[in-house]
Chain A
Amino acid sequence: MERKADVVVIGAGPAGLAAGVAAADQGASVLILERDERAGGILRQCIHNGFGLHYFGEELTGPEYAARFIEQAEKRGAGMGRSSASFGAAGQSPATIEILSDTMALSLSPERIVTAVNGRDGEITVRAGAVVLAMGCRERTRGALGIAGTRPAGIYTAGAAQRLVNLEGYLPGRELVILGSGDIGLIMARRMTWEGASVKMVCELMPYSSGLNRNIVQCVRDYDIPLYFSTTVTRVHGRERVEGVTIADVDENRRPIPETERFVSCDTLLLSVGLLPENELTRGAGAEIDPVTGGAVVDERRQTSLPGVFACGNALQVHDLVDHVSREAETAGRYAAEFAASKTLLQSSRGADRLNMGKTRVIGSGGTRYVVPQIISESPSETVDLFFRVGEVFKPARLTVTSGGNIIASRRKRVMTPGEMENITIRTDQINGEINVHTQADAQ
Chain B
Amino acid sequence: METRTGMEMKTEIKTSPDRKREFVCIVCPVGCSLIIDGEGESPRVSGNQCKRGEVYGKQEYLRPMRMVTSSVAVDGGAQPLCSVKTEREIDKAKIFEAIEAIRSMRVRAPVEIGQTIAQDIAGTGVRLIATTADAGRSHTA
- Which residues does A use to contact B, with CB under 8 Å? 37, 44, 47-49, 59-61, 63-64, 67, 165-169, 193-195, 198-201, 212-214, 216-218, 221-226, 395, 414-415, 417, 420
Whether B123 is near chain A, meaning CB under 8 Å from some CB there, is: no
A166 close to B31 (CB less than 8 A): no
Known A193-B3, A213-B31, A225-B3; judge A47-B83 contact (CB<8 A): yes
Whether B17 is near chain A, meaning CB under 8 Å from some CB there, is: no
- The one of A64, A201, A221 in contact with B131, judged by C-beta atoms closer than 8 angstroms, is A64
Q: Please, which residues of chain B bring their CB within 8 A of the CB of A417? A: 29
A61 close to B131 (CB less than 8 A): yes
Count of A-B contacts judged by CB separation below 8 Å: 88
Q: Please, which residues of chain A bring their CB within 8 A of the CB of B29? A: 212-213, 415, 417, 420
B26 close to A63 (CB less than 8 A): no
Q: Please, which residues of chain B bring their CB within 8 A of the CB of A214? A: 26
Known A63-B131, A67-B133, A415-B29; judge A222-B92 contact (CB<8 A): yes
A194 close to B70 (CB less than 8 A): yes
Q: Please, which residues of chain B bring their CB within 8 A of the CB of A193? A: 3
A194 close to B49 (CB less than 8 A): no
B24 close to A216 (CB less than 8 A): yes
**What does the 1/0 interface line of B95-117 toward A look like (CB < 8 Å)?**
11001000000000000010000
Instruction: Give complex CA distance A214, B140 in Å.
Output: 38
Q: List 7 A-B contacts (CB under 8 A).
A: A47-B70, A48-B69, A169-B80, A199-B3, A213-B29, A213-B31, A414-B49
A218 close to B26 (CB less than 8 A): yes
Residue of A nearest to B112 (CB): A67
A166 close to B3 (CB less than 8 A): no
B83 close to A49 (CB less than 8 A): no
Residue of A nearest to B86 (CB): A49
Q: Please, which residues of chain B bring their CB within 8 A of the CB of A225? A: 3
Beyond the given A169-B71, A194-B70, could you list 8 further A-B residue pairs with CB under 8 A, ordered by the A residue number? A47-B70, A47-B132, A59-B67, A165-B71, A169-B81, A201-B1, A213-B26, A217-B26
Q: Please, which residues of chain A bring their CB within 8 A of the CB of B92? A: 222
Known A218-B66, A226-B1; judge A64-B113 contact (CB<8 A): yes
Instruction: Give complex CA distance A199, B2 in Å.
Output: 9
What is the interface residue range for chain B against chain A?
Answer: 20 to 34
Instruction: Give complex CA distance A44, B66 in Å.
Output: 21
Instruction: Give complex CA distance A349, B26 in Å.
Output: 55
Whether B9 is near chain A, meaning CB under 8 Å from some CB there, is: yes
Q: Please, which residues of chain A bring their CB within 8 A of the CB of B133? A: 67
Known A198-B3, A223-B9; judge A414-B69 contact (CB<8 A): no
Residue of B nearest to A414 (CB): B30
* B58 nearest CB across to chain A (Å): 16
Q: Please, which residues of chain A bring their CB within 8 A of the CB of B68? A: 194
Whether B51 is near chain A, meaning CB under 8 Å from some CB there, is: no
Instruction: Give complex CA distance A31, B68 in Å.
Output: 37
Instruction: Give complex CA distance A169, B70 in Å.
Output: 10
* A174 nearest CB across to chain B (Å): 11
Q: Please, which residues of chain A bring their CB within 8 A of the CB of B3? A: 193, 198-200, 223-225
* B8 nearest CB across to chain A (Å): 9
Instruction: Give complex CA distance A199, B70 in Å.
Output: 18
* A366 nearest CB across to chain B (Å): 19
Instruction: Give complex CA distance A226, B1 in Å.
Output: 7
Q: Please, which residues of chain A bring their CB within 8 A of the CB of B67? A: 48-49, 59
Whether B25 is near chain A, meaning CB under 8 Å from some CB there, is: yes
Q: Please, which residues of chain B bring their CB within 8 A of the CB of A414? A: 30, 49
Known A63-B132, A198-B3; judge A213-B113 contact (CB<8 A): no
* B127 nearest CB across to chain A (Å): 15
**What does the 1/0 interface line of B1-22 toward A look like (CB < 8 Å)?**
1111000010000000000000
B1 close to A61 (CB less than 8 A): no
A67 close to B113 (CB less than 8 A): yes
Known A63-B131, A213-B29, A415-B31; judge A47-B69 contact (CB<8 A): yes
* B71 nearest CB across to chain A (Å): 6
A166 close to B25 (CB less than 8 A): no
Q: Please, which residues of chain A bring their CB within 8 A of the CB of B95? A: 194
* B85 nearest CB across to chain A (Å): 6
Q: Please, which residues of chain B bring their CB within 8 A of the CB of A168? A: 80-81
B71 close to A47 (CB less than 8 A): yes
Whether B79 is near chain A, meaning CB under 8 Å from some CB there, is: yes
* B22 nearest CB across to chain A (Å): 11
Residue of B nearest to A416 (CB): B29
**What does the 1/0 interface line of B71-94 toward A look like (CB < 8 Å)?**
101000001110101000000100
